[in-house]
Structure 1
Amino acid sequence: MQWKFWLVFLAFAAISAFLLLEEHRAHMLGALPYLILLVCPLMHVFMHGGHGGHGGHGGHGHHHGGGERDDREDRR
């Protein structure tokens, strides 16, 4: 019985998405350059885990994992 709900919901979502795309295509295409510019900092934050997760940057005084490992850890 629950699968009927999801089938109806999926059909409603597909029809709604189609109608929204058809009616608001000019608005969405006009905002596309701004959305691409917005994606750059968001990808930096979420893909790198914020600042400090880059590895290889010296002078921070702590190690976040990734990057180079100390060979002495392998000898123990």
Structure 2
Amino acid sequence: MDRRFKITLAIFFVIALILLWGEHKVHLLGALPWLILLACPLLHVFMHGGHGHHSPQGKKGDQRDEQ
């Protein structure tokens, strides 16, 4: 791609983002508290995946770590 084309494309995206932020800021900031509340259970589910589930597979993994 031509360098001028890349610069023009970057400028277009920056202007589009500025206009979108100006028009939709109220909607995005209004949904922010709900998104934070939604993130809590999702983080809990996905962040606790590495604790093991007291299954035989978890014990095999522990034995490999000790060797």
Counterpart for residue 51 of structure 2: 54
RCO (CA 8 Å, sep 6+): is it higher in 1 or 2?
1
- Taking the aligned partners of 1:65 and 1:11, their CA distance within structure 2 comes to 52
Counterpart for residue 32 of structure 2: 32
Identity %: 39
- Taking the aligned partners of 2:5 and 2:11, their CA distance within structure 1 comes to 10
Q: Hey, which of these two has a bigger chunk of helix by percent?
A: 2
- Taking the aligned partners of 1:15 and 1:8, their CA distance within structure 2 comes to 11
Shift of 1:29: 1.0
- Taking the aligned partners of 1:65 and 1:5, their CA distance within structure 2 comes to 53
Shift of 1:30: 0.8
State the AA in 2 paired with 1:62: Q
Q: What runs of 5+ residues in structure 2 fail to find an aligned partner?
A: none
Counterpart for residue 21 of structure 1: 21
Q: How many residues align?
A: 64
- Taking the aligned partners of 1:24 and 1:16, their CA distance within structure 2 comes to 12
Shift of 1:6: 1.9
TM-score, reference length from structure 2: 0.65
- Taking the aligned partners of 1:25 and 1:65, their CA distance within structure 2 comes to 48
